[in-house]
Amino acid sequence: MRTTPLAKPGEIERKWYVIDATGISLGRVSTAAATILRGKNKPQFTPNVDTGDFVIVINADQLVLTGKKATDKIYYRHSDYPGGIKATTAGEMLANSPKKLVEKSVKGMLPKNSLGHQQLLKLHVYSGAEHENAAQQPVLLDINKLI
């Protein structure tokens, strides 16, 4: 009986993809990025091995938040001091730091362990249309085909 071959870390070929977030909702961009970062779009996907590719998200400041998410979705953080809870709405985060908004959204879709951290390091988010990774010759990805 033959078993499915498992991917080994040294055999993985990594590619670079660019996602243009202009006019696309945050959830669609995040799920597409998380799918590629995990490697679920590849036939040799193995859950316990980082088989994913690199993802560059450009125009993060032109994302769309659907419904009432801009006012009703709240991100909390705490300073570890009594009464040190802070709250930020998704609309404020999109206006002030869209990079953090995308990173936080994608991070929530990755595994909560060292493998997820390793995969998150392959995500590069830029607010504008320019990015620093032109030397890697990234391929523009059509999100509609992936999802």
Q: Say which CATH number the domain at 34 has.
A: 3.90.1180.10
For helices 26-38 and 98-107, angle between their N-to-C axes, nearest 10 degrees: 50
Domain for residue 39, yes or no? yes
- Compute the Cα dihedral for 143, 124, 15, 6 and give only its sign: negative
From first to last of its 147 residues, what are the pLDDT tens digits of the chain? 777 788 888 889 999 999 999 999 999 999 999 999 999 999 999 999 999 999 999 999 999 999 999 999 999 999 999 999 999 999 999 999 999 999 999 999 999 999 999 999 999 999 999 999 999 999 999 887 776
Domain for residue 140, yes or no? yes
Residue whose C-alpha is closest to residue 58's, from 146, 147, 141:
141
Domain for residue 87, yes or no? no
Boundaries of domain holding 19: 13-66+97-146
Cα-based torsion angle of the residue sequence 143, 61, 121, 28 in order, rounded to the nearest 10 degrees: -30
CB 133 within 8 Å of CB 16: yes
Taking residue 116's Cβ as centre, other Cβ atoms within 10 Å add up to 18
Q: Please tell me the pTM assigned to this model.
A: 0.92
Could you give the number of structural domains in the chain? 1
Domain for residue 61, yes or no? yes
pLDDT number for residue 147: 64
Domain for residue 2, yes or no? no
